[in-house]
A and B are shown apart, each in its own frame.
Chain A
Amino acid sequence: MTVALFVQRVFDGLQAGAIYAILALAIVVIFRASGLLNFAQGELAMFTTFIAWALLDSGLPWWAATILATVIGFGLGAILYRLLIVRLGGAAANPLAIVIVTIGLFLMLNDGAGIIWGSNPAKVPRLFGDGRVELLGAGISVQVLGLLGVLAVLVIGFGLLFQRTKLGLALRAVTSNPESAALAGIKVVTTLMIGWGLAAAIGSLAGTFTASQNLSVDTNMMQITLIYAFAAATLGGFDSPLGAVIGGLVIGLVSELVVGYVSIIGPDLRLLPGFVLVLAVLLVRPQGLFGSAKVARA
């Protein structure tokens, strides 16, 4: 019984953590591409999840709606970058203004979704079905295993993208030094559009998985997840995709296990353990677990 309970809690934690990890990945991709924090990342994910729900409602199967919403998310991210961020002079010229713009986007998307769709208890199916498997006496839903699989694919995919492809090289070059990158023939705006598009597409997956898990789509669904995702990125290091993912999983696990086993920290203090952990790690490693330390010339 106690082993089963432990296993169950581990998977509860991994399930929550995997969603934090996916959204943290989106945050890290934008940070790497443009050196910015996109506060609207969670709301973008929420917005595309509503699109997925609308597609489902119009008769599309859920898997098709998920894929289509991811593609639409890519377009939305790219357009937002092209229409808003570029016009403000780009990240390098005006970083604070752009951070404020992302906060504005946060509010706009939140209200926009509310006006268009309201909020719906949604009979959203699970992408990987309702099946469950027994593991050491605990019941693990196939959905969680599928979610962890998707996460693994994303991590490997992004690792390869950044390290092994010309696009990845271009993304890194543009962040490191936009001017030199442009001089070397890299189309900076196009490259960054792709970066923002990719981030929104990944975020969209975090949203649809949350909807499947919560059985509802509502305008506030990603807000607490965003806080956790920021914590995950901070823990893992803002410029490390692998760090973001590990950070997300660790925060999910720690929250679930501490709340479950430490009786004085009840479910009402669910946010606490993860953030104490982040604080402790930052005291020792300010750049996060996998982040690269800033080297300043003396």
Chain B
Amino acid sequence: MRKMTTGWRLGAVVLAVGLIAAACGGRDESGTSGGDGASTTAPAEQVLADPADCTNYKGTTGADGATIKIGGSLPQSGLFKVFDKVRVGMNAYFDFANAGGGVQGKQLELTSLDDAYLPERTRANAETLTATDGVFALLGVVGTENNKSVQQYFSETGQCVPNLAVASGFPGFGDPAKDPWIINGLPNYGLESVAFADYLKQNKPQAKVAILSQNDSFGESYVTSFKSAIEGTGITVAAEQTFDPRAESNPQGQVTTLAGSGADALLLGVTSVPCPNALKSVKDSGWNPLTYVTLTCSSKVLMDVAGDAAEGTISTRATYDPSDPDSASQPSVQEFKTEGAKYGLTPEDLNDLNVATGWNFGAYLTQLLKASPELERSKVMNTAWFQDGVKFGMNLDGITWSTNGAEDPYGYQQLQFVTRTGGKWVPQGEITDYGSQLQQQEAGG
């Protein structure tokens, strides 16, 4: 890895100072529209990412050379290693985009470090990536707590570095009024909970729901939104159990307690290996609830581990699952399969939802950088907060990405229900917009 020389650093600082001045002077400019049908209209009063708020602002670091340097941090080891496949997907997309000319004539370059899902290591990685590698932005950083520690580091050091398409649906990352430098890349976890509540209202209006969740903000996001979504309905929470995903990979005792509650539905606010484990325990105990598994648990790897125990569970999607033969004819899936194979994805990778997620993050970044009026950090963020009806990657036909500043900061609004049938996910019903329900909930609570 090439280290920055002192002279280069100085140059970057001088350049950055100049750009801040330019950016501050030019705040009444409105954004121009970019590629892929994205329109970016950020009126002056709606500039959310403001360099003036950053004591240590460098607007173009990492994008002012021949390449655009992007950083990543995710578990390449440990229990959550399955998510390393996100990196594999991002890499492949970068190669694909670079072969097509890159962004504004510059090649994309990804440097990704291992954090083993440990937030303190993610923080150290963020430091290495920005201070040593000089990346322009972060992409697809996995984990809620991990991204919190990254933002903590940036805020302590007065840096404003875009943290884009984070692999977390934590609702707290969708608050540009508080922190405009981080944006979700997955559907808001709350959106999933609202969708599950809605599903129960339609199909099981008197459901008694058991909830198993991780005792972290990932788990809490599902629980809080779900409870608020069932207020005033016939649906009740029969029992709740939590576990620490770092200490326990098999919450069997908790499942036993939930099974004993007489609940007829189960919300699993769980991801990675504990998720298939919980499904196995449910099956062993002879309990047969209508079970919702999170989008992050619905990947092929984890579902294969669960095997039969996953049959009949439901989940949601916003993107095509490349392992699903029924979506093989979709142009975006075909592009992933042919181009992905060309850029090093193995047949196994081409069937992996986490690889697909990484590919989508790559596609998101590319369209965003193209849509941004220039390769400058605050301009990129302000573009990200105001995108309307963008299509990219393998998003389901009928699902578009729209953000509208602090009013509606979540790109994904719609979800499609799927049921695990015969070892694959089968779509059920229509793509539905749950965004407005979620917004009402957030406005109310």
| Interface residues, chain A, with chain B CB atoms under 8 Å away | 1-2, 4-5, 8-9, 12, 15-16, 114, 118-123, 130, 132, 134, 138-139, 141, 213-216, 218-221, 224, 256, 259-260, 266-268, 270
Instruction: List 15 A–B pairs whose Cβ atoms lie within 8 Å, in order of A's numbering.
Output: A1-B262, A5-B259, A8-B285, A121-B302, A123-B305, A138-B285, A139-B285, A215-B276, A215-B280, A218-B249, A219-B78, A220-B78, A267-B243, A268-B242, A270-B253
Q: Determine whether B241 belongs to the interface, using a CB cutoff of 8 Å to chain A.
A: yes
Q: Does B254 contact A (CB under 8 A)?
A: yes
Chain A nearest Cβ from B334, distance in angstroms: 29
Instruction: Say yes or no for B397: interface residue by CB 8 A criterion.
Output: no
B332: CB under 8 A from chain A?
no
Residues of chain B lying within 8 A (CB to CB) of residue A119: 77-79, 81
Given A9-B256, A216-B79, 8 extra CB contacts under 8 A: A1-B262, A5-B257, A8-B259, A119-B78, A130-B308, A215-B280, A266-B242, A267-B251
Which residue of the partner chain A has the closest CB to B302?
A121
B242→A118 contact, CB < 8 A = no
Q: Is the CB of B253 within 8 A of A121?
A: no
- Please, how many angstroms separate the alpha-carbon atoms of A123 and B307 in the complex? 9
CA distance A256 to B243 in the complex (A): 14
Query: Which of the residues B77, B242, B286 comes within 8 Å of A132, measured between beta carbons?
Result: B286
* Cβ contact within 8 Å between B256 and A260: yes
CA distance in complex: A214, B253 (Å): 13
Mask of B63-82 contacts with A, CB within 8 angstroms, 1/0 = 00000000000001111011
Q: Does B407 contact A (CB under 8 A)?
A: no
Cβ contact within 8 Å between B249 and A214: yes
Asked if B260 contacts A1 (CB within 8 A), the reply is yes
Inter-chain contact A218/B78, CB cutoff 8 Å: yes
- Cβ-based interface call for B149 (8 A): no
Whole-angstrom CA separation of A81 from B197 in the bound complex: 59
Q: Is the CB of A216 within 8 A of B284?
A: no
A1 and B79 CA atoms in complex are apart in Å by: 35
The answer to whether A215 touches B77 (Cβ under 8 A) is: no
How many residues of chain B get a CB closer than 8 Å to chain A's CBs? 40
B296 at the interface (CB under 8 A from A): no
The answer to whether A4 touches B260 (Cβ under 8 A) is yes
Contact pick for B273, options A1, A9, A121, CB 8 Å: A121
Among residues of A, the one whose C-beta sits closest to the C-beta of B307 is: A123
Give B4 Cβ to nearest chain A Cβ, in Å.
Answer: 30
Q: Is B215 an interface residue (CB 8 A)?
A: yes
A259–B79 touching, CB < 8 Å: no
Q: How far is the CA of A123 from the CA of B302 in the complex (A)?
A: 9
CB contacts under 8 Å to A, within B245-280, are: 247-254, 256-257, 259-260, 262, 272-273, 276-277, 280
Q: Which of B242, B249, B262 contacts A216 (CB 8 A)?
A: B249
Determine the chain B residues whose CB is within 8 A of the CB of A122 once the complex forms. Answer: 305
Query: A268 contacts B244, CB within 8 Å?
Result: yes
Determine if B243 and A139 form an interchain contact, defined as CB atoms under 8 angstroms apart.
no
Residues A256 and B242 in contact, CB atoms below 8 Å apart: no
Docked-complex contact B250 and A213, CB < 8 angstroms: yes
Q: How far is the CB of A155 from chain B (nearest CB, A)?
A: 24
For B78, B251, B262, the residue with the greatest tally of chain A CB atoms inside 10 Å of its CB is B78
Q: B237 at interface (Cβ–Cβ under 8 A)?
A: no
In the bound complex, residues from chain B placing their C-beta under 8 Å from that of A219 are 77-78
B145 to chain A, nearest CB (A): 16
The residue of chain A having its C-beta at the shortest distance from the C-beta of B84 within the complex is A118
B256/A12 in contact, CB under 8 A:
yes
B304 at the A interface (CB under 8 A): yes
A215 vs B308: C-alpha distance when bound (angstroms): 14
Q: Complex formed: what's the CA distance from A122 to B277 in Å?
A: 11
Q: Point out the residues of chain B lying under 8 angstroms from A9, CB to CB.
A: 253, 256
CB distance from B293 to the nearest CB of A (A): 15
CB pair A224 B247 closer than 8 Å:
yes
List residues of chain B with CB within 8 A of the CB of A259. Answer: 253
- Shortest Cβ distance from residue A195 to the other chain B in the assembled complex, whole angstroms: 31
Partner of B260, one of A5, A123, A216, A221: A5
Cβ of B301 < 8 Å from any Cβ of A?
A: yes
Q: Which of B373-419 contact A (CB under 8 A)?
A: none
Establish whether residues A214 and B242, one from each chain, have CB atoms under 8 Å apart when the complex forms: no
Set of chain B residues within 8 Å of A256, measured between Cβ atoms: 253
A9 CA to B257 CA, complexed, in Å? 8
Query: Which residues from A are CB-within-8-Å of B82?
Result: 121
Check A132 against B280 for contact (C-beta < 8 Å). no
